[in-house]
Amino acid sequence: MISRTLTTDRGDVGVRLDLVLRRHLTDVDAATRTRVQAWIENGQVAINGSPVRRVSTRAAPGDIVTVALPGVQPRPASVAENVALHVLYEDDHLLALDKPAGIVVHPTYKHAAGTLMNALLWHARTWPAGGRPSLVGRLDKLTSGIVVVAKTAAVHTALQQELMSNRSEKDYLAVVYGRVNVARGEIVLRLGHDRSDRRRIVVSDRDGAPSVTMFTRLGRTGGLSLLRCRLVTGRTHQIRVHLAARGWPIVGDPVYLTPGVSGRPRWSEMADPELAGALRTFPRQALHAWRVAFTHPITRDRLRLEARVPGDVERLLIAARLVPAGLVNP
C-alpha cells in the first residue's frame, strides 16, 4: 500500500470528495468510482490529517488530502538524465521551462525515462539540500509551452494556490478548424472522464467538474481560426475538449478531432492544396502554452513569462496566412 497526498484547488469547491479524488488520481488505474468511494468509507482518506468517511464530504481550496492506495505498486524512483532544458526564468525558489511537443512531463510506466522530470532532476543536482523539482501543473505530451516548476514543497504549495487563483493568467494559442464567428467569448462546460475510456475527457452534465475557458479570436481565414485561450479552471484536456465541443477542434488533435461535415478529414476540405498538405502532416495538436503571469510567492514580484511560438506552429500559421503582427519569431 502506498499513500498519495494532494492539495485541493478552486475547481474542487462544492465537489464531492470521491469526485475530487478521481480528478486528481487520473494516473491511478485502480481509482474507479466504486473503489474510491470504498476507500473513503473504509477510513483510508484524510483531510488535513483527520480521517473522513463520508463520500459527500466537501473540501475547501488548499486542503491537504491524503489517500492510502491499496494494491497500487509504487513506481520506480526517477533517474536524473543529462538532457538540455530551455529555461525561461529561474531563481532560488522556482523556474519556468519551455517544453517542446513530444516530451512527457512526468515518468509513467510507459515512459519511465526521457521525461521532463528526468531532465529536471539532473538540472537540480547542485541545488541546496532539501530542494527537489516539483511540477506545478502539467502539459500533455503533444502540447508545447510553459511549465512552472517549484524547487521546494513549500513553494510548490504556494504556487499551486497562486496559479489557481484569479490573480494568475494562463494563455494558450490554438489553431482550430472552423470560422469562429465571435471576437471573444466564454466556454462553460462540465468535464468528466469517459466511462468507457478513462483516458478521454467528455462533456458531462451529471458528474463533471465545472470548467471555464475564455477565448479571443486573433485571426481567421478560410476554414481555420487562431484563438488565444485563457484558463479559468485547469482540467485535464480542458481546452481541447471545450473547443471541440463548440465545433472548433484543434488542428492535429489525435483524440478530439472529428471528421468534417462531409465525413472526410477536415484538411481535405481546404481549397489551398499547400495548406491542405500542411494540415494533413501536422504531427500533433496545434496547442501552445504561450504566456503566464503570476505573483512570485516569495518575492511578491509580478512575473510575466512567454514561450515563443514553436517552429511547427509558426510554419502552419504562415501556410494558413494566419499570422497576427508580432506573433511569430522575427
CB 117 within 8 A of CB 105: yes
Residue whose cell numbers read 483510508? 44
**Type of residue at 134:** S
The partner residues of 148 in beta bridges, in order of sequence, read: 96, 136
Determine the distance from the C-alpha atom of residue 99 to the mean position of all C-alpha atoms in its chain, rounded to a whole number: 12
Helix (H, G, I), strand (E, B) or coil at 22: helix
Q: Is 56 exposed, middle or buried (0-12, 13-18, 19+ CB in 10 A)?
A: exposed
140 counts as catalytic: yes
Compute the distance between CA of residue 249 and CA of residue 56 in angstroms, rounded to an integer: 35
Q: Choosing from 9, 12, 98, 140, which is the catalytic residue? A: 140
Compute the distance between CA of residue 305 and CA of residue 96 in angstroms, rounded to an integer: 8
Compute the distance between CA of residue 131 and CA of residue 105 in angstroms, rounded to an integer: 19
CA nearest to 146, candidates 155, 154, 137, 158:
137
Dihedral over alpha carbons 312, 315, 319, 324 (to 10 degrees): 110
Compute the distance between CA of residue 32 and CA of residue 22 in angstroms, rounded to an integer: 7
What are the grid coordinates assigned to 3, written together?
499513500
CB 241 within 8 A of CB 257: no
Output phi, psi for 193, to 5 deg: -80, 140
Residues noted as catalytic:
140
